[in-house]
Structure 1
């Protein structure tokens, strides 16, 4: 047992290799936070577009044009395209095609944008489902009382929708955190990449991977526990 502890010390402490883990941890958490914020902004915008009643040709004699909602159509195409392709493919396209001319583009920024774009599609569907799952009579009653659509959404619909969608959003952000493990494809030094670096220096593959897996487990556990407290607080309001 003592010999194995000495081996662990040599793997992680020797040569200050624990710094690779810390670097990977900060990178993964930073990318997750950046992409989560971007994903929420995109998701809210796309959800509003999806449920909007924007029909610029409603006075047209052609029924097809009369029912055309370009904002909703754009949102549907976006979510179907993003949800229908793997995140790693989107990351590689963004890094090697779209941002190919920006050679000094940091891997952190590229990964954050890629995961934010990916997360936005899922957040959009979560928010849309939460809003459309509410009783439509509430909006009709609010409008009948003279409340503008935006005020009714802000004061009545959205607060109730948040309570319903919070568990799904928590699952999405946990998935987002774990998805950062693929940024090594574009040169980002995340937790998984840091484990590979330690393995290449020590020729020990199991211990670095177990350490990274344990870190992911701890982070998701802390986040899940925190969000459960938030969810409980919202239900008690």
Structure 2
């Protein structure tokens, strides 16, 4: 066998090392999807707090967003795993999802908040003048503009969220990046392992971009 055949064999076939990559793929997908969905809900909550009339809620939201955005993801994971939940028996994946949820939620909150600020107040006033209720104004005027303005950023946030899962190997979770490190250490040559996970990350990103596009949100809301 030539060099690349040997490398392929020892990277994927020998000792069924492809299973390590499959485990990493599952972990990456689980963390990415779960934290993105939960992060969206958390982001909406933070945005509601930030735009409320309660000064205490506004301050809490501002402090949380500032902390979550400025603390590196790896540091946040270490704090959650070894400090906040260090003495609590809980599944590691759940702790990591919680940390990533809060990190992602802070970004999504800013996306929503920026999109809301971009809505023309004149259109809202016009809708109220026409007799629309606050709920109708939000559904038919505010929401379409928010989605139109923030949808692309929201799509990209999933990709960024998936990329941030690449550091979970530091807390002993085997994701795609950690899988490549494990296999690379065993083969003493990380070329194919790194190439493989690069392709997988790329395919996941493209696939979810296509999935978002297939949803055709713009068409359904008429923007």
Bigger radius of gyration: 1
Q: What is aligned with 1:166?
A: 151
**Contact 1:43-1:123 within 8 A present in 2 as well:** yes
TM-score w.r.t. length of structure 2: 0.91
Bigger Cα displacement from structure 2, 199-208 vs 120-129: 199-208
Q: Does 1:45 align with 2:29?
A: no
Of 5-14 and 205-214, the range deviating more from structure 2: 5-14
CA distance, structure 2, for counterparts of residue 42 and residue 3 of structure 1: 49
**Alignment length, in residue pairs?**
221
CA displacement 1:70-122 (0-9 Å, x = unmatched): 222222221111112111111111111110112x3222111111110001111
Q: Give yes or no for contact 1:25–1:191 (8 Å, CA) kept in 2.
A: yes
Q: Following TM superposition, where does structure 1 have runs of at least 4 consecutive aligned residues deviating by more than 3 angstroms? A: 145-148, 228-231
For structure 1, the 5+ residue unaligned runs are: 56-68
Could you tell me how far 1:152 is from its partner in structure 2? 2.0
Residue 115 (1) aligns with residue 115 (2) = no
Is 1:32–1:177's contact at 8 Å kept on the other side of the alignment? yes
Query: What does residue 63 of structure 1 align with?
Result: none
2:61 to 75, 98, 101: 75
For 2:174 and 2:183, the matched residues in 1 are separated by 12
Match for residue 7 of structure 2?
Answer: 7
Match of 1:128 among 100, 103, 113: 113
The change in CA–CA distance for 1:130 and 1:204 in structure 2 (over 3 A counts) is: same
- Distance, in Å, in 1 between the alignment partners of 2:190 and 2:25 is 18
Gaps of 5+ in 2: none
Distance 1:70 1:101 in 2: 30
User: Is contact 1:163–1:235 with CA below 8 Å preserved after alignment?
Assistant: no
Counterpart position of 1:216: 201
1:7-156 to structure 2, matched below 5 A, reads 7-52=7-52, 54-55=53-54, 69-102=55-88, 104-156=89-141
Contact persistence 1:46–1:75 (CA under 8 A): yes
- Structure 1 position 160, deviation (Å): 2.1
TM-score with structure 1 length normalisation?
Answer: 0.86
